[in-house]
Structure formats: C-alpha cells, structure tokens
Amino acid sequence: MKRYLALCGGVGGAKLALGLAHVLAPGQLTVVVNTGDDFEHLGLSISPDLDTVTYTLAGLVQPGQGWGRDEESFAALDTVGRLGGDTWFRLGDKDIGLHLVRRTLLGEGLSLSAVTDRIARRLGVAHAIAPMSDGAVRTLLDTDAGPLSFQHYFVRERCAPVVTGVRYAGAEHARPSPALAAALADPALAGIVVCPSNPYLSIGPILALPGVRRLLAGAAAPVVAVAPIVGRRAIKGPTAKLMRELGVEPTAAAVAAHYADFLDGYLVDPADPVELPGVAVAAGDIVMNTLADKTALARRCLDFCDELAGRP
Amino acid sequence: MKRYLALCGGVGGAKLALGLAHVLAPGQLTVVVNTGDDFEHLGLSISPDLDTVTYTLAGLVQPGQGWGRDEESFAALDTVGRLGGDTWFRLGDKDIGLHLVRRTLLGEGLSLSAVTDRIARRLGVAHAIAPMSDGAVRTLLDTDAGPLSFQHYFVRERCAPVVTGVRYAGAEHARPSPALAAALADPALAGIVVCPSNPYLSIGPILALPGVRRLLAGAAAPVVAVAPIVGRRAIKGPTAKLMRELGVEPTAAAVAAHYADFLDGYLVDPADPVELPGVAVAAGDIVMNTLADKTALARRCLDFCDELAGRP
C-alpha cells in the first residue's frame, strides 16, 4: 500500500489535506502540521494549525471561514472581555472546550502527538494528523514594531507591521515528531506533498527542524509542492506582503526557489511560469473552492508523485 | 462608621451576605469567603465559594440554583465530554470565561485577593469580597472510599461516601488574607457575622487558619452566628449527614458548641433551643427564601451585634 506524507499549515493547507483524505484510505495518509503558531493564551494551550486541520478533516470547521468550529458561540470570551481580559484572539466556546482537554492531557504528561491523535479520533477523523514536533518551536517575526510572536503579528496586529525577519525559536533543539520521523523513514512512502501554505510562516517551521530538509532532499519518494501564490497574489493569507517585505518577489517561482534543495515537482497556475533546474513543473488550476476542487487537486498531486517516481 | 466582617461559605452563606450588602454601605462590609473548596480542574483555577458570593452580590447568580451564572450555556463542557474529558463539574461557558481570567491574572503574579477584588469590581459589586487566604488551603475528607478532595466528595460523589474526618491541608502554613487580617484588627469593627454555612466544610477552613480562632475570641466586636440547621435538618447542603458521620448530633446546639470559644450571639429557629454559657441566643425565623428574608435576617444580625456590644 502506497503511503503519503503531507506537510501543512492552516487554512490553505487544510483544504488540500481534506482533498487528500478524500482520495486516500486512512492508513495511507499522514498529515504533519506546523506548530510554530502554537501559543499560550488565557492559560490555554492553543495550536491553531493543528485545530484547523483537525476541524477540517472532522467536517466541523466553520464553513466559509476555514478555521474555528461550526455554529460557534462566544459566551466565555464575552465574559473575559467584561472582566477586562484579552479578546483579540476570538476563542469560541466549543473551541475552548478542546483547548481545556488539550491542556489537561498535556498536564497529565501526554505528548502533543498523543493529544492530537486522541482528539482527532474522538472527533471522528480516520486519517493520521500529527504535529511537526512534540517540542516547542515558536515562530517569531522581527518587525518595525519590534519582535512579535506569530499570533500577535497575525491576529492581534493583523499583519500590519513590516517584517524584517522570521525566526523559529527552539527549532534547533526540537525533534521531528514520531509520526514525521516515521513517515520520512517509511519504505512504503510514495510521495510527499507540500501543501499550499505560507512558505515562511507555515512550512518554514517544519523545514527548520533539525534534519528535515536533508531528509526531504534525500527521500526516495518524490516531493511535490502546490504553489501558494497565483498571479503574484497569495491564495490565502499575508504571503505576498510578507515576501515583499523580506525582499523576495512574491511569485510562485520564488517559493519554488525556497524549496529548491528538496523539490521534485511543482504544481502552479498556468499564469505563473516557473523554471527551476531539476524540478518538474505542471501547470493547471490550483485554486480550491469546492470539495471537488480539493479532491481533484489531491489526485493530481498523487498522480504527479507516481509520474515522478517512474522517471529514471 | 461601623464596619462589619462576614465569614461565609457558598450558597447558604451567600444569601446572608447579599442581605448584609443590601443593608450596609459598601465601605461597611467585608465578606471573607472560604477557599478550602478551591481546586484545579481542566487546567482552570476554580474558587466555587468565591464565585458563588461574587455572582450573588453582582446579581448574576442562577436564580433558584444559588450558584453558577444566570442564562448559562454549556458548549465548552459539551465539547470536553465529546473529547472524553471530565464533565462531572458542570462548568458553564460564562463561568469558564471568569476562570480563564482568574487563571491569567494569577499567572501574572496577582494574589487571589487582588484577582477576586478586580473580578468583583468589574461585575459591579460595590462591597468588599475577599478570600480567607491567598495561600492554598484544601479541605480533604477522609471517607470510606478513601481520602477525597472537597469537590470530588461534594460534586462528583454527591456526598455519598461516609466521612470519618475532615482536614484542611495547608492551613497551618497559610496566612489570613490581608482583608481578613485588616478587618479583625479594625478598631471600627462593630460586629462579626458567621453566615449559616457548613461549620466543617465552609467555616471550618477559615477557623483553621493560624490565629483566626484566637483573634475571633479576643475581638472587641461581638461575634454572631446564624445557625445553619433548622429542626435537625441542614438548611442547605450535606451538613446534617456529615455531622452524624463525624459522631456529632446534627443540631443547632452542636454547631454552637463548635464555635463556643469565640461565639457571643447565636440566631436560631424557635424550634431549636440552644443553651450555652456565655452565648446569647435569639430565636426567630432564619430561613432565607426571598430577598426580604435576607435583608431582614441581616438587620437582625446587626441589631444583635449592637445589643451585645452594649452589654457590660
């Protein structure tokens, strides 16, 4: 049985992860998720990207929004506000329920991997979802407003500050999670899919883990990425603005260059020509709106892996 | 200006505290509340008696129930249950909002006194509410089902286990809160009211704090208690059952004997004759259903203090 590994951030990546979950059997897919956005807030342990992927694969995500729970209420957060607490991070009541359970299980000594797996199973997710690491990695942005943690930059400041650098604090001491390490060492691994997530803020933390870039570059299985940029505009999120501020042209080609050391295949929009030595480029529609878009793009990723694996 | 100190547990005591708050100006009353029930649950810092008193004085308590928030929802707890977490302690969404704020403020280094005061002010409470101590005191019950923390005994096990002993873990190292110490040292203190709360589970932890019994006994101001038992049945809660198991007759007289070293006046139901050397006993209706009952009983407590203070 062929197995696949998907590397994924939040909303954009979760769309392709959902497509992959629809076209692969549960035992065939491991979705490894960025935890560089994780943070402690109101005493809760919050893992935004893990939760977005979990809610998406469980069919519980807020439709149209792409993150958070469906039919959510905000009674707890309204009380927090009434008592003078922080409300800039919009935690819904159902979402808080999950954070309380995660906090409790982590407090009992379970790893984030074990907690993530237990929560996903309880919510009916059949495919494997895992954090990139059980260690703490925190994405920090150096900005014209000083250094900001990811959520402070992304949510509280709405990406307004100008970014001068991105760091992944703790990455040098963190280890890939057991699921990520196992997938990369799996002889049945038939393909690695880099989802269309922000290369710096979502995929970057995963690539910063010791050994991961080297293992991706040396993997027998093809590594295929879907461009997170169509016609110079990020499909989702602040990718284009951030890249410009970092002095990188916000193009699909620049993202490919960022992945050049391990990339075998690249799926781009027909309007974004990319040429990179050693990288096969396939042009086609990569915007995912409907479930049909997501499953179709997932199938194209898997077919692309097969095609690349068949090459000499 | 005469000032008063009320010692108080949860639901039963909060009724009289509300009455006192209605008949005294804000600067005249300090309500000191049991924290022996406090516990950590789902990663939250929960102070059930403090919250009951705060919600009651803020006019936000669930009517008819006497604890918890009005118009409460349970979306977070439903999610906790769905994820396999503990749901025996019925935390509502609004209530969780308060716990998140308390946890955050405690984490920032504020004392429980400061946090309690800030929350109460934010909810519009004008009178002073304070914990009995900023240190951790935990009421533990030795039972035929083994030792149980208060909430495990009271809520999870619904007081079913047979109690063989009550301990106040940590009391010997805890200090009275600044508000309690200040009230007991206040030359303007005109009376101390022991609310009709469980003598072992609600008032007992306060009395177990170093020096408190001695300070009550030596106070210039009269100490007046309202019997928590009417006709051998606890007005509220498991008082009678617990007393019987501890080998004490569940009578108003036995409660008075428990307070004998510091008690000056005792308000009892006419059906419960009490005679105790050095203690003035006043019989009358002490059951509080309506707000009028609560304010009337509060007035009688204050008048009783005046009367006792006028004695030679």
Please state the rounded mean pLDDT for residues A296-308. Answer: 97
Global pTM reads 0.92
Q: How far apart are CA B224 and CA B307, in angstroms?
A: 11
Best of A95, A100, A105, A110 to disrupt the B interface by mutation (most B CBs within 10 Å)? Answer: A100
pLDDT of residue A312 exceeding 60: no
Contact B43 A43 (CB under 8 A): yes
SS3 readout for chain A: CCEEEEEECCHHHHHHHHHHHHHCCHHHEEEEECCCCCEEECCEEECHHHHHHHHHHCCCECCCCCCCECCCCCHHHHHHHHCCCCCCCCCCHHHHHHHHHHHHHHHCCCCHHHHHHHHHHHCCCCCEEEECECCCCEEEEEECCEEEEHHHHHHHCCCCCCEEEEEEECHHHCCECHHHHHHHHCCCEEEEEECCCCCCCCCHHHHCCCCHHHHHHHCCCCEEEECCEECCEECCCCHHHHHHHCCCCCCHHHHHHHCCCCCCEEEECCCCCCCCCCCEEEECCCCCCCHHHHHHHHHHHHHHHHHHHCCC
φ, ψ of residue B7 to 5 degrees: the values are -105, 130
Secondary structure (3-state) at B212: helix
Of residues A79, A104, A107, nearest to B97 (C-beta): A79
* B118: chain A residues, CB-CB within 8 Å: 83-84
Please provide the size of chain B in residues: 312
Note the pLDDT tens digit of each residue in A152-168. 998 889 999 999 999 99
Query: How far, in Å, are A241, B137, B180 from residue B112 at the CA level?
Result: 44, 12, 13
Please state the rounded mean pLDDT for residues B63-72. Answer: 92
Note the pLDDT tens digit of each residue in A175-185. 999 999 999 99
Please state the rounded mean pLDDT for residues A169-179. Answer: 97
Average pLDDT, chain B: 94
Burial code of B144-160, b = ≥16 C-beta within 10 A, e = fewer? eeeebbbbbbbbeeebe
* B124: chain A residues, CB-CB within 8 Å: none
Best of B47, B79, B95, B99 to disrupt the A interface by mutation (most A CBs within 10 Å)? Answer: B79
Can you name the CATH fold of B3-40+126-309?
Rossmann fold (3.40.50)
Please tell me the predicted confidence (pLDDT) of residue A33: 98
What lies within 8 Å, CB to CB, of A121 at 6+ separation is none
> How many CB atoms are closer than 10 A to CB A34?
32
Single-letter amino acid, residue A232: R
Of residues B84, B96, B122, nearest to A84 (C-beta): B122
Residues of A in CB contact (< 8 Å) with B are: 42-44, 72-73, 75-80, 82-86, 92-98, 100-101, 103-104, 107, 118-119, 122-123
* B72: chain A residues, CB-CB within 8 Å: 75
Please tell me the predicted confidence (pLDDT) of residue B64: 86
Name the band, by pLDDT with cuts 50, 70 and 90, for residue B239: confident
Residues of chain B above pLDDT 70, percent: 97
Q: Cα distance from B312 to chain A (closest Cα, Å)?
A: 48
The CATH classification of domain A3-137+169-309, taken from the options 3.40.50.720, 3.40.50.10680, 3.40.50.2000, 3.40.50.1820: 3.40.50.10680
Contact A97 B75 (CB under 8 A): yes
pLDDT of residue A26 exceeding 60: yes
pLDDT of residue B312 exceeding 60: no
pLDDT of residue B234 exceeding 80: no
Helix (H) or strand (E) holding B22: helix B11-23
Note the pLDDT tens digit of each residue in A258-273. 999 999 999 999 999 8
Name the band, by pLDDT with cuts 50, 70 and 90, for residue A232: low
Contact A85 B101 (CB under 8 A): yes
Of residues A73, A77, A118, nearest to B73 (C-beta): A73
DSSP conformation class of B61: B
Contact A76 B77 (CB under 8 A): no
Contact A44 B43 (CB under 8 A): yes
Contact A122 B84 (CB under 8 A): yes
Q: How far apart are CA A168 and CA A133, in angstroms?
A: 13
Of residues A93, A104, A123, nearest to B75 (C-beta): A93
Q: Cα distance from A260 to chain B (closest Cα, Å)?
A: 41
Contact B85 A100 (CB under 8 A): yes
pLDDT of residue A211 exceeding 60: yes
Locate A65 and state its tokens: 């929004």
Closest residue in chain A to residue B76, using alpha carbons only: A97
Angle between helices B112-122 and B48-57 (to 10 degrees): 30
Single-letter amino acid, residue A211: G
The residue among B117, B106, B10 whose CA lies nearest residue B61 is B10
What is the domain partition of chain B in residue ranges?
3-40+126-309
Of residues B42, B73, B76, nearest to A104 (C-beta): B42
Q: Cα distance from B82 to chain A (closest Cα, Å)?
A: 7
| ipTM of model | 0.90
Contact A42 B85 (CB under 8 A): no
Q: In what order do the strands lie in the sheet with A146-149?
A: A146-149, A138-143, A163-169
Least confident window among A40-54, A278-292, B95-109, B224-238: B224-238
* B86: chain A residues, CB-CB within 8 Å: 104
Helix (H) or strand (E) holding B180: helix B178-184
Locate B45 and state its tokens: 């810092």
* B123: chain A residues, CB-CB within 8 Å: 82-83
Burial class (CB within 10 angstroms; exposed 0-12, middle 13-18, buried 19+) of A220: exposed
